[in-house]
Amino acid sequence: MAVKLWQTNAKLDDQIERFTIGQDQELDRLLAPYDALGSLAHCRMLSEVGLLTAEEGQVLAAGLRDILAEMAAGEFRIEAGVEDVHSQVEYLLTQRLGEVGKKIHTGRSRNDQVLVDLRLFLREELAQIWHGTADLVETLLGQSEQYRDYLLPGYTHLQIGMVSSAGLWFGAYAESLIDDLQLWRSVHDIVNQNPLGSAAGYGSSFPIDRQRTTELLGFSDLNYNSMHAQLGRGKTELYFAFGLAALGATIGKLAMDICLYNGQNYGFFELPRAFTTGSSIMPHKKNPDVVELIRARCNQWQNLPAAVMALTTNLPGGYHRDFQLLKEVLFPAIQQAGEVLELTQRLVSELRVAPDLLADPRYDVLYSVDASNQLVVAGVPFREAYHRVSDQVEAGSFQRPAELPYTHLGSIGELGTAGIRRKLDRLRGEVDFEGWRACLAGLGVVQPKPE
């Protein structure tokens, strides 16, 4: 059996067929429920505009709901000889429903079918990443408050620089993740537009209603220009890749800090025992393997935009088979994101900070800036105060000041946690995931994924 939506009566070369299918059968399983959802909305629209009879629309909708139930039960598979999920769904409808099954593709191309599947898939995955990131922000802010008075060395050039705190460290990564959420909000705005009805990129001579499928699938708007909808292939994946790259930059740096500060030469943090492994010959070892793998995954994500651009740069307008390989680049990273976020949240919530670290005299020089500032407050010009303290450090006579009068917003004395929380709350109010989930549920076939 060989089933392909584009197939004619010409015989296919087996080797070329295997090469062109590639990993589509495996990766398309992730798109399967979204393909059926897009077909449900398309089928209802076709019925409403008279391209299907009401009875045909009901029969097709029932068949699609049966397929969705099989997907939910883990019983759906792409059979041998069937090229992709789009072909498998149409094949099942035709096998089970007869001639009416052949009508499901009326008024669309596999091009816009793939586009809408990807948008629906990426939209749901983005929601999961968003919620996981927001949860991590909350955990970091909780730790920031818990350890607000635990002082740490602050570094520049890997040299001890100024007095910092665990509260400042945790809060810094929380606010950095909020920047990432702002980027994800913009990616969501782009993803949440409907390409269905653009056909192969040039529209359709059928009297289809693109506004109706936009409403049914819960998109906030549509890609009005049909060519623009097709041009979105590759760009949509690029925007998503930028979101993952930004998230990877934040979490990867956090993981690196933890690896460094957990080491015996630092001893600032104590990792949860479950996050460490031993050595085959060194009985004392507690290696931060999990944290290192989180860091490695995040480093991979930072390469994603370049990998997407490498596949799409200099392609002219219109569809090209090169786009198929974008799934191989992006989908594995999307599947990793949830676990990385979950593990990072566990790690942060169980991380313990060593108390009284700065009591060690080797950290006295951290206070040199504060000593200079105190001289300035007493009336000494800054440059003269700087040189006085520098001479004391060189002579070995410097003594740390007794107090640290940090009072400004965002310092170790006033972490600004309330302001960071306001940023998070504002962002949460700007992205409506439940709106489009309600529309999908209105099709009577899908339950939101648990958060």
Whole-number pLDDT of residue 446: 45
For 121-134, letters b (16+ CB in 10 Å) and e give bbbbbbbbbbbbbb
Whole-number pLDDT of residue 6: 44
- Residue 443 to residue 217: CA distance in whole angstroms: 8
Whole-number pLDDT of residue 447: 44
Question: Could you tell me which residues are beta bridge partners of residue 152?
Answer: 164
Matching residue, tokens 């968003």: 130
Comparing CA positions, the residue from 74, 125, 153 lying closest to residue 236 is 125
Q: pLDDT tens digits, residue range 202-259?
A: 999 999 999 999 999 999 999 999 999 999 999 999 999 999 999 999 999 999 999 9
Q: pLDDT tens digits, residue range 304-346?
A: 999 999 999 989 988 888 898 999 999 999 999 999 999 999 9
- Residue 401 to residue 95: CA distance in whole angstroms: 83
Does the pLDDT value for residue 81 go beyond 80? no
Whole-number pLDDT of residue 420: 98
Q: Residue 291: how many CB atoms within 10 A of its CB?
A: 22
Q: pLDDT tens digits, residue range 109-118?
A: 989 999 999 9
- Residue 412 to residue 355: CA distance in whole angstroms: 15
Cβ(171)–Cβ(254) under 8 Å? no
Does the pLDDT value for residue 157 go beyond 90? yes
Whole-number pLDDT of residue 321: 85
Q: What are phi and psi of 32, to 5 degrees?
A: -55, -55
Question: Taking the mean position of all CA atoms in its chain, how far away is CA 263?
Answer: 30
Q: pLDDT tens digits, residue range 14-50?
A: 665 565 556 666 678 889 999 999 999 999 999 999 9
Comparing CA positions, the residue from 144, 52, 157, 146 lying closest to residue 107 is 52
Mean pLDDT, residues 358-386 taken together: 95
Whole-number pLDDT of residue 442: 85
Q: Residue 194 to residues 57, 189, 209, 242: CA-CA distances in angstroms? A: 21, 11, 12, 21
Provide the angle, in degrees to the nearest 10, between the axes of the packed helices 32-48 and 110-146.
Answer: 130
The region, left, alpha or beta by phi > 0 then psi within -120 to 50, assigned to residue 410 is left
Whole-number pLDDT of residue 107: 94
- Residue 182 to residue 52: CA distance in whole angstroms: 43
Give the architecture-level CATH label for domain 117-196+224-359+410-431: Up-down Bundle (1.20)
Does the pLDDT value for residue 78 go beyond 50? yes
| Domain assignments of the chain as residue spans, ordered by start | 117-196+224-359+410-431, 362-395
Q: What stretches of 220-367 show up as alpha helix (H) in DSSP?
A: 226-262, 289-302, 304-312, 326-350
Residue 9 binned pLDDT confidence (cut-offs 50, 70, 90): low
